[in-house]
């Protein structure tokens, strides 16, 4: 993969620290977690293996994986006080705001008192987040108090099970494992950097994750998967999509799900989720959403040399699994919490408060004017 010229605003191209967790856009694999190629992980691993790799530093053996999954399974119960908070959030709220509030409330109920407890709190967040968002979703939208202590074998299955209140199809669970793995970690992206900045003040783990959720919410970052869905579902044929995209490009609109701050020619996660999207499209008998998505991809490359990032084909893939669009970005949270918290631990292990400088552009020597004399 060619190097992208990285300079200019947005701290682009400047190293803001060291990490042993991830490489993004390096020649060769393009994306690795602790040295493991994302393609291999997405093909062979379960999400829990990847979370363990990031958090505990190595791939688990079978006994370790079994024990880890059992531990997470035992941590799914929502505290009553959290349920009460969730039940008071209206259906009109954005689910990312629900995630933010839910995470923050958890921090009130189960406060991290010492960094020695960090892994317990991290595992708890991994275990509880899927049920937490779906408890709110089902209560606010359907009046149903969904059971979060399910028999689901994994976080992937738990998300779909608590959303639809039934055991999901094995194919969908497989897709969710791959999706959660693809989203788990991405070096110093905006939300992870938020978490690290917060961690650098020696703040608690729930504050770090709550801040990161807020950063991920925006459409230039994690929110792009639902923005992409809102866009592609408007079009019923590939030709219609092409015409609309040409118009958007002429108006210099941003096309959500395309481009990347670091990658230049492709995002290695795209080919993987695109393949799953195709499989799901065939499984569901879809005749337009996948074709529309492929055409948008082709037009964007032809016209602008812009490529799909991780978010674009996630939109159709999630849609094929009957996941409501507004829950797309919360799924990203359920996954990226592994990456964020690995970075928090890394920051804490070798900390100096993150405090860059700014180039001042304001006035010099401003004079005091008494309030009565101000215009
Ligand atoms: C999981 C993730 O978070 S992946 C990112 C998800 N975000 C999106 O999909 C939102 C759409 N994409 C974007 O807004 C951008 O590509 C970002 C935010 C991801 C990266 O931003 P930058 O690093 O500033 O982009 P970059 O420097 O490559 O932009 C180069 C040019 O391409 C344009 N461009 C970049 N992406 C897009 C896009 N999706 N649609 C239209 N034009 C674009 C830029 O406006 C810029 O044009 P200019 O030079 O005339 O100003
Ligand atoms: O790295 C970035 O800037 C955004 C991204 O793709 C991610 O966080 O997965």
List the residue whose alpha carbon is closest to atom 34 of ligand 1. Answer: 259
- Which atom, in ligand 2's list, is nearest to the CA of 216? 8
CB 1 within 8 A of CB 165: no
Q: How many domains does the chain have?
A: 2
Distance, CA of 150 to CA of 131 (rounded, Å): 9
Report mean pLDDT in 10-residue bins for the chain, 375 residues.
67 93 83 97 98 98 98 98 98 98 98 98 98 98 98 98 98 98 98 98 98 97 96 97 98 97 94 98 96 98 97 98 98 98 98 95 97 97
- Which atom, in ligand 2's list, is nearest to the CA of 221? 4
Residues 244 and 214 in one domain: no
- Which atom, in ligand 2's list, is nearest to the CA of 185? 9
Residues 164 and 299 in one domain: no
Ligand 2 contact, 125 CB (< 6 A): no
Ligand 2 contact, 195 CB (< 6 A): no
Ligand 1 contact, 261 CB (< 6 A): yes
Ligand 2 contact, 310 CB (< 6 A): yes
CB 183 within 8 A of CB 225: no
Residues 144 and 187 in one domain: yes
- Does residue 247 lie in a domain region? yes
**Has 260 been annotated as catalytic?**
yes
- Tell me, what's the ipTM? 0.97
Ligand 2 contact, 269 CB (< 6 A): no
Residues 201 and 278 in one domain: no
**Has 311 been annotated as catalytic?**
yes
Residues 251 and 197 in one domain: no
Ligand 1 contact, 254 CB (< 6 A): yes
Ligand 1 contact, 296 CB (< 6 A): no
Task: Looking at the CA of 189, name the nearest ligand.
Answer: 2
Contacts of 237 (CB under 8 A, 6+ apart): 288, 291, 292
- Does residue 142 lie in a domain region? yes
Mutate to test the pocket of ligand 1, among 259, 262, 270 (most ligand atoms within 8 A of CB): 259
Residues 296 and 335 in one domain: no
Residues 74 and 206 in one domain: yes
Q: How far is the CA of 205 from the centre of ligand 1 (A)?
A: 31
* CATH code for the domain of 51: 1.10.580.10
- Does residue 375 lie in a domain region? no
Alpha helix positions (H), the chain: 38-44, 47-56, 62-73, 80-87, 95-109, 118-142, 155-164, 170-183, 190-200, 205-216, 224-232, 238-250, 268-284, 289-304, 312-320, 328-349
- Does residue 1 lie in a domain region? no
Residues 131 and 248 in one domain: no
Q: How far is the CA of 257 from the centre of ligand 1 (A)?
A: 9
User: Residue length, the chain?
Assistant: 375
Residues 211 and 265 in one domain: no
325 CB neighbour count, 10 Å cutoff? 17
Nearest of 1, 7, 38 to residue 263 by alpha carbon: 1
> What's the confidence (pLDDT) of residue 136?
98
Ligand 2 contact, 189 CB (< 6 A): yes
Distance, CA of 113 to CA of 107 (rounded, Å): 10
CB 158 within 8 A of CB 131: yes
- Does residue 210 lie in a domain region? yes
> What's the confidence (pLDDT) of residue 6?
72
Residues 181 and 246 in one domain: no
- Does residue 203 lie in a domain region? yes
Domain containing residue 62: 22-219+330-349
- Does residue 172 lie in a domain region? yes
Helix 47-56 and helix 62-73, axial crossing angle in degrees, nearest 10: 100
Q: How far is the CA of 87 from the centre of ligand 2 (A)?
A: 32
Residues 210 and 241 in one domain: no
- Does residue 291 lie in a domain region? yes
CB 305 within 8 A of CB 73: no
Q: How far is the CA of 153 from the centre of ligand 2 (A)?
A: 28
Task: Looking at the CA of 186, name the nearest ligand.
Answer: 2
Surface-to-core class of residue 208, CB atoms within 10 Å of its CB (0-12 exposed, 13-18 middle, 19+ buried): buried
CB 270 within 8 A of CB 307: yes
List the residue whose alpha carbon is closest to atom 3 of ligand 2. Answer: 189
- Which atom, in ligand 1's list, is nearest to the CA of 267? 4
> What's the confidence (pLDDT) of residue 4?
59
CB 300 within 8 A of CB 258: yes
Catalytically annotated residue among 36, 177, 186, 260: 260
* CATH code for the domain of 301: 1.10.230.10
Residues 283 and 310 in one domain: yes
């Amino acid at each position: 993969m060619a190097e992208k010229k990285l300079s200019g605003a947005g701290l682009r191209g400047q190293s803001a620290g060291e990490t042993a967790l991830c490489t993004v856009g390096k020649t060769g694999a393009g994306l690795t977690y602790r040295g493991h190629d994302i393609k291999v992980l997405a093909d062979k691993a379960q999400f829990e293996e990847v979370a363990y790799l990031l958090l505990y530093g190595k791939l688990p053996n079978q006994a370790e994986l079994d024990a880890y999954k059992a531990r997470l399974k035992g941590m799914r119960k929502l505290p009553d006080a959290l349920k009460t908070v969730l039940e008071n959030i209206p259906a009109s709220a954005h689910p990312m705001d629900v995630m933010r509030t839910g995470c923050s409330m958890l921090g009130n109920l189960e406060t991290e008192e010492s960094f020695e407890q960090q892994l317990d709190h991290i595992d708890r967040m991994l275990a509880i987040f899927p049920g937490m968002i779906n408890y709110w979703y089902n209560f606010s939208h359907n009046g149903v108090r969904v059971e979060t202590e399910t028999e689901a074998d994994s976080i992937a299955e738990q998300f779909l099970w608590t959303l639809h209140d039934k055991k999901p199809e094995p194919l969908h669970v497989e897709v969710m494992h791959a999706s959660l793995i693809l989203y788990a970690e991405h070096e110093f992206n905006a939300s992870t950097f938020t978490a690290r900045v917060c961690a650098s003040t020696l703040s608690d783990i729930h504050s770090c994750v709550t801040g990161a959720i807020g950063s991920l919410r925006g459409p230039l970052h994690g929110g792009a998967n639902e923005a992409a869905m809102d866009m592609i579902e408007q079009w019923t044929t590939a030709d219609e999509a092409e015409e609309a995209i040409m118009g958007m490009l002429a108006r210099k609109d941003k096309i959500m799900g395309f481009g990347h701050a670091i990658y230049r020619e492709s995002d290695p996660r795209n080919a993987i989720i695109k393949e799953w999207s195709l499989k799901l499209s065939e499984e569901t008998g879809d005749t337009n959403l996948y074709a529309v998505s492929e055409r948008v991809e082709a037009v964007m490359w032809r016209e602008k040399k812009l490529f799909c990032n991780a978010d674009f084909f996630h939109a159709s893939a999630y849609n094929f699994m009957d996941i409501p669009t507004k829950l797309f970005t919360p799924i990203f949270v359920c996954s990226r919490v592994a990456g964020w918290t690995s970075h928090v631990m890394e920051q804490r292990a070798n900390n100096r408060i993150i405090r860059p400088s700014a180039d001042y552009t304001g006035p010099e020597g401003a004079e005091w004017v008494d309030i009565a004399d101000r215009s």
